[in-house]
Chain A
Amino acid sequence: MTGRQLVTSAQNTWCPGCGNFTIQHTLKTVLAGMEQEGTRLDDVVLVSGIGCHAKIADYLNINSFYAIHGRAIPVASGIKLANRELKVICCVGDGDVYAEGLDHLIFAAKRNIDITVIVHDNRVYGLTTGQYTPTSPLGFKGKSTPMGTMEYPLNPLELMLASGATYIARGYTKKMDLLKTLIRGAIDHRGFSFIDVLQICATFLNLTDHYNTHTRDLPAYDRSDALLACEKIREWDYNSGAPIALGLFYQRKAPTFDEQLQHKSLPKTERLLRTREFLATRQ
């Protein structure tokens, strides 16, 4: 298929002004660009969890696995292990991947499996109408924490660096060109790619002004230097009023899980023969 119509006829139900529109549009642009360069979009799979962000699986006219809350990453890992030709992209939420399914995020990074994870980080549970997530600022008053949270947010980039991710970036939905570069870079990167995308939630946590005044581009440095990357990652802790750097923080080459786990598949008849051979060793 070429020149594919990339949007389905599903009715879009995101709130006006939602950051998800930008992420979807950017991903669409990236995919269209890849198709023009010769990538078969039949080889692309989108995996999502559950949340407002996850509706992107309905909206994009590409292979998709609309999974369950927090579990996009193990599904994506299975798909990649089954067929290395596929480009597997996960669109996940901050509640989805930093709360419900954090274990899978850490382990996918640790394995350096060649998938791309795009976190739609609105720092709130959107779909369940406004509870705090692991990246909500301290004191955030959500429906489940009316007095304000008593937990510091975690810094997902720092966590990813510690876990072994080989591509770590942060984007912002109002910086579309950068976001496009980051997503394309993540898909092209061989290994586990992670992008935390700051997006506003128009209804439950609108940080547009704060992001517009505090975000800035990362300066030039050796992206494969973990110590330097760590220093940059720690400049903003998802809580303070410090400047928020955007861009690619860290990237390195490393063997991927899927390339190491490649198996030689055998025809059915050969397998059956081998079960008989095995039985004979116990006779």
Chain B
Amino acid sequence: MVQDISILVGGKAGDGINSASAVIAQLLNQLGYYTYIYFDYPSLIRGGHNFAIIRGSDTPIGVHKTTVDFVLALNQDTIANHKMRFKETTLTIFNSDVVKAEGQGISVNGVLKTENAPVIMGNSAIIGAFAKAAGIPWDIIIKVFPAYIPKGTEINLRVARRAFDQVTPVYPVESIGSRRLCLITGNEAIGLGLIAGGLSAYVSYPMTPSSSLLHFLAENAQRFGITVVHPENEIAVILMALGFSYAGERVAVGTSGGGFCLMTEGVSLAGMAEIPVVLVVSQRTGPSTGLPTYTAQSDLHFIVNAGQGEFPRFVVAPGDTREAYYWSAVAMDVAWRYQVPAFILADKTLSEGTFSLDPADLPELSLGEPIDWDGKPPYRRYAETGSGVSPLAFPGTNGAVVKVNSYAHDEFGITTEDSGVVTQMTRKRMRKAALLAEAMETFSTVSTDGPANAGTALVCWGSVQGACREVARELGLRLIKPVVLSPFPELLLNRTLQGVRRLIAVEENSTGQLAALLRFHGITVDAMVLHYDGRPITPDILMDRLREVGV
């Protein structure tokens, strides 16, 4: 039997829905499930309606389902706004002080009053009630609470226990094994991957959905021995990062589309001056301010093309925490080995979604070393080499005059308008592009799933892989996903596409940006499923949409 359970928890902003969902996911983790959390919230601080869908499964998952098995309601909206999520068997547990519903009500106020606990602990009552209804043993709650609710653990436990005792078990969620995975968000995975890749400074200006990466690294700056700076705007962010890099520190920046608009001049500078830098860009619904807290995949062309002039760049779009960790480390490595800007293109679904990560399953990192100067003066920052990559030296090095330049420059980094030198330096940069493309051939730049001999294939990128994988497995389709988008893995894609008779692109944008990129590289898609309401496409919606295109 397939083990698959979904829990919707909803309330007002400020009700602690996010932390409740983290605890519930961890409870499922302790029962041996793979978990995933989708967190949905409007762009405001208090009020409104927040909800999370926590899903547990016996296979790895990266998306929620529309319907759920449990509804935990801290406000009436959780019932009213989610009609489509209810099945006949859905059990509702609700705060009877403010919610009218069928199911098991508990008076959260009553519980809090008896335990003399503050209002913010109301979510612990709902967790306790859920645990009992789902037949989760009390000792698992005792194990999970201290890590997730370090402040006032005792009193939160008492609140949970009182609610626990008021409910009867209805729908036991069985333990399915002893596997315990790590529950982290996409942004945390990116942060950890960057650190594994040698990150020593992170510079960022807050912008959802990248902000939680800034917060995570700032909070853990000492633990990881890194510097975290939040300057006056994104222009300062990218330029400050280039300063760090010029001085020899491995640096990354983080933002979303709007902030990245301000960085483009700096990105072009990095391309011209050959300064390594990693940019984490997490997409949200656009254009402009758009839907700040909702998802999209509409910045692919922007990222692949941003910045005036031509220069090589690396762009990777991880689809889950495992890929986010691994490819973030690789992006840092690539930036430094080839002295190019390297992008990690994420989206809200990945950045703020929580996924199960198996540390034992992380690919081995085989990172290279940048080429250092041999110490023989005079140092030429842009020295001609066969590969196009010039040896690095940093200011402060004995005998090295390190000159970088945004103007067209000669080998020493001095401005030139000489046609010969300009041609030579352009070729040098383009040789790096070829070298990088060649190096990427040894990486798994395209991921696949589903039966290898299926004639119909879905092609997608980024976090949409969660829904695509489930549907591909269920319908017996092949799934093909380019993870690296620049340099475009044309060779490997063509090889992977052998035997495919029908190719369907699935993307969270309204124009089919990957499909256009594929076309540019001579690969035609036969149909597109495009989804652009700010919400991640779920397997059931995708299934319906595929039927419409004749699958």
Whether A43 pairs with B395 at a CB distance below 8 angstroms is yes
| B395 A261 Cβ-Cβ under 8 A | no
* Residues of the A chain whose Cβ atoms lie less than 8 Å from the Cβ of B242: 65, 67, 75, 78
Q: Does B196 reach chain A (CB closer than 8 Å)?
A: yes
Q: A75-B246, A266-B224 are in contact. List 16 more A-B contacts (CB 8 A).
A: A40-B398, A42-B399, A50-B406, A64-B413, A67-B239, A68-B266, A71-B265, A71-B266, A74-B236, A78-B240, A81-B201, A81-B240, A82-B243, A104-B235, A278-B192, A278-B223
CB distance from A78 to the nearest CB of B (A): 2
Taking CB atoms, residues of chain A closer than 8 Å to B241 are: 78
When the two chains form their complex, are residues B359 and A82 in contact, meaning their CB atoms are under 8 A apart? no
Complex contact B223–A103 (CB within 8 A): no
Among candidates B227, B402, B406, residue contacting A63 with C-beta atoms closer than 8 Å: B402
Expressed in whole angstroms, the Cα–Cα distance for A139 and B192 within the complex equals 56
Q: Is the CB of A86 within 8 A of B247?
A: yes
- Is B359's CB under 8 angstroms from A279's CB? yes
Tell me whether B302 is interfacial, beta carbon within 8 Å. Answer: no
Residue of B236, B269, B399, B415 touching A68 (CB-CB under 8 A): B269
A63 touches B395 (CB 8 A): yes
Q: Does B200 contact A (CB under 8 A)?
A: yes
| Complex Cα gap A77–B399 (Å) | 23
Among A1, A82, A107, the residue within 8 A (CB) of B201 is A82
The answer to whether B405 touches A57 (Cβ under 8 A) is yes
Q: Decide if A85 is an interface residue (CB 8 Å cutoff).
A: yes
- Chain A residues within 8 Å of B, Cβ to Cβ: 1, 8, 10, 40, 42-43, 45, 47, 50, 55, 57-58, 61-68, 71, 74-83, 85-86, 103-104, 106-107, 261, 263-266, 268, 270-272, 274-276, 278-283
Nearest first, the 4 A-B pairs at minimum CB distance are A78-B243, A266-B225, A82-B247, A74-B239
**Which residues of B come within 8 Å of A, CB atoms?**
29, 147, 180-184, 192, 195-196, 198, 200-201, 203, 220-227, 229, 231-233, 235-237, 239-249, 251, 265-266, 269, 273, 357, 359, 394-407, 409, 412-415
B396 touches A280 (CB 8 A): no
Contact A282 B395 (CB under 8 A): no
Partner of A107 from the list B183, B232, B269 (CB cut-off 8 Å) is B232
Q: Are B396 and A83 in contact (CB under 8 A)?
A: yes
Q: Return B100 CB to nearest CB of chain A, in Å.
A: 37
Contact residues in B for A77 (Cβ distance below 8 Å) = 231, 236, 240, 243
CB neighbours (8 Å) of B147 from chain A are 281-282
In the complex, which residue of chain B has the Cβ closest to the Cβ of A103?
B232
Determine the distance from Cα of A64 to Cα of B414 in the docked complex, in whole angstroms: 10
Q: For residue B308, give the distance in angstroms from its CB to the closest CB of chain A.
A: 11
Contact A82 B403 (CB under 8 A): no
In the complex with contacts A42-B399, A63-B401, A86-B247, A75-B225 CB distance below 8 A: no
Contact for A67 among B180, B406, B415, CB less than 8 A: B406
Residues of B within 8 A of A74 (CB): 231, 235-237, 239-240, 243
Known: A75-B240, A283-B180. A82 touches B399 (CB 8 A): no
A268 and B406 CA atoms in complex are apart in Å by 31
Specify the chain B residue showing the minimal Cβ separation from A63. B395
**Residues of chain B contacted by A107 (CB below 8 angstroms):** 231-232, 236
Cβ-defined partner of B357 (8 Å) among A1, A272, A279, A281:
A279
Q: Are A79 and B243 in contact (CB under 8 A)?
A: yes
Residues of A within 8 A of B397 (CB): 42
Q: How far is the CB of B257 from chain A (nearest CB, A)?
A: 21
Chain A: which residue is nearest B200 at the CB level? A265
Rounded to whole Å, the gap between the CB of A117 and the closest CB of chain B is 14
A45: B residues at CB distance < 8 A: 247, 395
Q: How far is the CB of B362 from chain A (nearest CB, A)?
A: 9
Return chain B residues, CB-CB under 8 Å to A79: 243-244, 246-247, 395
B259 to chain A, nearest CB (A): 14
- Asked whether, in the complex, the Cβ of B243 is within 8 Å of the Cβ of A76, the reply is yes
- Whether A65 contacts B246 in the complex (CB less than 8 A), given A78-B239, A104-B236, comes out as yes
Q: Considering only CB atoms, which chain A residue lies closest to B377 in the complex?
A: A1
Q: Chain B contacts of A1 at CB under 8 A?
A: 398-399
Across the interface, which residues of A come within 8 angstroms of B357, CB to CB?
279
Closest to A106 in B: B232
Q: Which residues of B contact A50 (CB under 8 A)?
A: 406
Distance A78 CA – B204 CA, assembled complex (angstroms)? 12
| Cβ contacts under 8 Å, A86 to chain B | 247, 395-396
| Min C-beta distance of A264 to chain B, whole Å | 6
Is the beta-carbon distance between B225 and A263 smaller than 8 angstroms? yes
Task: Find out whether the CB atom of A65 lies under 8 angstroms from the CB atom of B404.
Answer: yes
Query: What are 16 sample pairs from A and B whose C-beta atoms fall under 8 A apart?
Result: A47-B243, A63-B401, A63-B403, A64-B402, A71-B266, A74-B231, A81-B229, A82-B201, A85-B396, A104-B236, A107-B232, A263-B225, A271-B195, A278-B220, A283-B180, A283-B182
| A47: nearest chain-B partner, CB-CB | B243
Q: How far is the CA of A81 from the CA of B246 in the complex (A)?
A: 11
Distance of A189 Cα from B184 Cα, bound (Å):
46
Partner of A274, one of B223, B396, B403: B223
